[in-house]
Structure formats: structure tokens, C-alpha cells
């Protein structure tokens, strides 16, 4: 099958992932900005990765915080920490990003990271000029419900790009499920952090690098 549109997850696909300790420390800083100087480490970890509207509400109740205000602060502080990682050269694009400039398809980005982080990265680094749509999360609790595998942002990107036959490239099982939920094909990219990862989902394709997309997209 040939594809006229390819949409990519960002972290772990186009750019390197942010170290967990950076995200955790930024989340702890967000608690401090909200007046909680010594949050329980378990609560910090719960708000670092995998937070849900329910868990945000529970944690905020513990510290008498407004959930919406806390989450806006958390997303802002975490986004700025990731931007600093990029400025310092610790979060950078993968070497094969440049090859996409020769891929004759429409391209977009759909990330579960903050919109502010996505916007910064595509402005800060070269190689993103050909991307016609780029979606991340808004700094709201509701956005947590719209993360992949929910196809919400993917469907928005596909609409913006006027996609006909589309492929979604990701490095997480949630990416593959989001593609399935959106009714499009998927490719799981085995970056170094996913070399030996055992999948419990069935992507349409498995690729080792972005270079492989030239064969995939040409059918």
C-alpha cells in the first residue's frame, strides 16, 4: 500500500526522549511553585508520568490545591525543563530526521507532550520545515483524557493535512492503538530504547529507522 500522509509521534521518534529524572525534578518544582515544599515522593512520581484526571484530583486534595491550577503549573514547569534540555543539547533530533525532507508525502506530528514543548522543539531545531500540522496537549486536565490511544489529536492532524491514505509512526503501544482507533495504518519504530521491546499490539509495519519509510510509503 502507498501512503500520501505520514504522522509521527515526537519524543522517541523524531527527537530523543527526556530523561525521567528531569521530568520528576520539574514536577517537584511545580509542587513547590504551588506552595507545597515537601510533597510525598510517590505523589511526585504519580504526577510525573501517567497522570489521569482522577489521580490529579486525588493528589491535589491531599495538599488542598486546585487541580486545574496545579496542572497548568505542572505542565508549564515541565515544558520549560524540556526546553532547557534542548537548549543544552541533551534533547536533540535523531540523525535520520533530515532524510524526511526527501519523503514525498504530507507530514504531521501528534504528541502526548505539551503543545508548548512541541512548538518549541520544531522552532528550535532544523528539519521540521516540511511538517504541516503539529499537535500536543493543552495544559488542562481534560487533555489527559485525549492522549493516545485516544485518536483525538491524530484525527485533528489527519484532517488538517487532508489525508487520504495515512500512516502513523510511533514508539509506544499507545501510538499503535491510536492509529487503530483512527482507522489508519501504523509503524512501530525500534529506536535503541525499543530494540528488544516485546509488543502486545500488532502494527502494520515495524521499522528500524526513518529511512525505512521510503520503502514503506512507496508500497
Give me the residue spans of the domains in the chain.
5-17+92-217, 20-87
Dump the DSSP string for 107-132: EEEEEEEEHHHHHHHHHHSSS-TTEE
> Which pTM was predicted?
0.96
Extract the residue ranges of the chain whose pLDDT is less than 70: 1, 219
| Model pLDDT, residue 177 | 98
pLDDT of residue 186: 98
What is the pLDDT at residue 218?
83
Closest by Cα among 58, 52, 121 to 85: 121
Predicted pLDDT of residue 27: 99
pLDDT in tens, 100-143: 999 999 999 999 999 999 999 999 999 999 999 999 999 999 99
Are the beta carbons of 205 and 26 closer than 8 angstroms?
no
pLDDT at site 63? 98
SS3 assignment, position 99: helix
Return the C-alpha cell found at 9.
509521534
Cα 61 to Cα 163: distance, rounded to the nearest angstrom:
43
What are the φ and ψ backbone dihedral angles of 166, each rounded to 5 degrees? -120, 155
Q: Which of 213, 178, 192 is nearest to 16 (CA)?
A: 192
Superfamily of domain 5-17+92-217: HAD superfamily/HAD-like (3.40.50.1000)
Backbone angles phi, psi at 9, to 5 degrees: -65, 160
What local confidence, expressed as pLDDT, does residue 72 receive? 99
Amino acid at each position: 500500500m502507498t501512503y500520501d500522509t505520514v504522522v509521527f509521534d515526537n519524543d522517541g521518534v523524531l527527537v530523543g526522549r527526556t530523561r525521567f529524572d528531569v521530568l520528576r525534578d520539574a514536577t517537584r518544582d511545580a509542587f513547590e511553585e504551588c506552595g507545597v515544599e515537601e510533597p510525598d515522593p510517590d505523589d511526585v512520581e504519580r504526577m510525573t508520568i501517567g497522570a489521569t484526571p482522577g489521580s490529579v484530583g486525588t493528589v491535589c486534595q491531599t495538599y488542598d490545591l486546585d487541580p486545574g491550577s496545579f496542572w497548568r503549573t505542572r505542565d508549564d514547569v515541565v515544558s520549560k525543563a524540556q526546553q532547557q534540555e534542548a537548549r543544552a543539547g541533551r534533547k536533540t533530533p535523531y540523525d535520520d530526521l533530515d532524510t524526511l525532507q526527501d519523503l514525498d508525502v504530507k507530514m504531521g506530528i501528534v504528541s502526548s507532550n505539551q503543545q508548548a514543548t512541541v512548538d518549541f522543539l520544531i522552532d528550535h531545531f532544523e528539519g521540521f520545515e516540511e511538517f504541516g500540522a503539529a499537535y500536543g496537549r493543552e495544559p488542562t486536565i481534560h487533555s489527559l483524557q485525549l492522549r493516545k490511544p485516544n485518536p483525538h489529536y491524530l484525527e485533528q492532524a489527519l484532517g488538517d493535512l487532508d489525508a487520504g491514505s495515512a500512516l502513523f509512526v510511533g514508539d509506544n503501544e499507545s501510538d499503535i492503538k491510536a492509529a487503530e482507533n483512527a482507522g489508519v495504518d501504523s509503524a512501530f519504530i525500534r529506536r535503541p530504547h525499543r530494540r528488544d521491546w516485546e509488543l502486545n499490539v500488532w502494527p502494520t509495519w515495524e521499522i528500524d529507522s526513518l529511512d525505512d519509510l521510503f520503502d514503506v510509503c512507496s508500497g
